[in-house]
Chain A
Amino acid sequence: DAKTTQPPSMDCAEGRAANLPCNHSTISGNEYVYWYRQIHSQGPQYIIHGLKNNETNEMASLIITEDRKSSTLILPHATLRDTAVYYCIVRVSVAGGTSYGKLTFGQGTILTVHP
């Protein structure tokens, strides 16, 4: 699986949009971009994933550049509860077969939302 590069930390004011960047310049054509977050002492929480089109769900939006070498996770209105470590991971995804696309966690970005 391709490696990713994320800034070690970011700050955001409560109520503002949080934009978390991720570089994955060696991503392969069949690799998806996944985002998870981990709040202290809890298991990671799935946020969103995408292949090449922008994606949006109730939690966040994922913007993937046209060349797929980078992406941005957007939390539109950050709250204090969004303070967490955010992980950007690229992996193969398998439809209906045996999963072999491991999740390799890097150090992620520590997002701190302040009042």
Chain B
Amino acid sequence: GAVVSQHPSWVICKSGTSVKIECRSLDFQATTMFWYRQFPKQSLMLMATSNEGSKATYEQGVEKDKFLINHASLTLSTLTVTSAHPEDSSFYICSADRYMGRTDTQYFGPGTRLTVL
């Protein structure tokens, strides 16, 4: 159990276009989902926290107008990179929070490799 999927697994786009990435929790409902970004040879950096039915909370330095997050259901969150530029090329990973017993655990998707030309 606790499977999280992402689509697409990789995408190449032209500079100035927008790209949408989907994150789905397949076998559990997630009130909270998270979006991370990872540059080569670096660790994961949290971009934003997404709560179902409300606005996302962005980390300091992350442009909310550039990285649009929608969490419309308990199993789906989307990240849209608007007007993408080469510096946005990165590995984007989502996670979904699952409650079991007295604690919660984040389960991660496989990631989406974005390349902006």
Binding site for B on A (CB under 8 A): 32, 34, 36, 38, 41-46, 49, 51, 87, 93-96, 98-108
- Among B43, B104, B111, point to the contact of A41 (Cβ < 8 A): B111
Query: Is B22 positioned at the interface, with any CB of A under 8 Å from its CB?
Result: no
Main secondary structure of the interface of A (DSSP, over half): loop
By the criterion CB–CB under 8 Å, are A49 and B103 in contact? yes
Binding site for A on B (CB under 8 A): 2, 4, 6, 31-32, 34, 36, 43-46, 49, 51, 91, 93, 95, 97, 99, 101-111, 113
Main secondary structure of the interface of B (DSSP, over half): strand
By the criterion CB–CB under 8 Å, are A103 and B93 in contact? no
Contacts A44-B93, A46-B105: A98 and B32 contacting too (C-beta < 8 A)? yes
Distance from B41 Cβ to chain A, minimum over Cβ atoms (Å): 10
The tally of CB-CB contacts under 8 A between chains A and B is: 68
By the criterion CB–CB under 8 Å, are A34 and B105 in contact? yes
By the criterion CB–CB under 8 Å, are B106 and A93 in contact? no
B104: chain A residues at CB < 8 Å are 93-95, 99, 101
By the criterion CB–CB under 8 Å, are A98 and B51 in contact? yes
Which has the most chain B C-beta neighbours within 10 Å: A36, A100, A103? A103
Given A103-B46, A105-B43, 11 new contacts (CB under 8 A): A32-B103, A41-B113, A43-B95, A43-B108, A44-B93, A93-B103, A95-B99, A95-B104, A99-B104, A103-B44, A107-B43
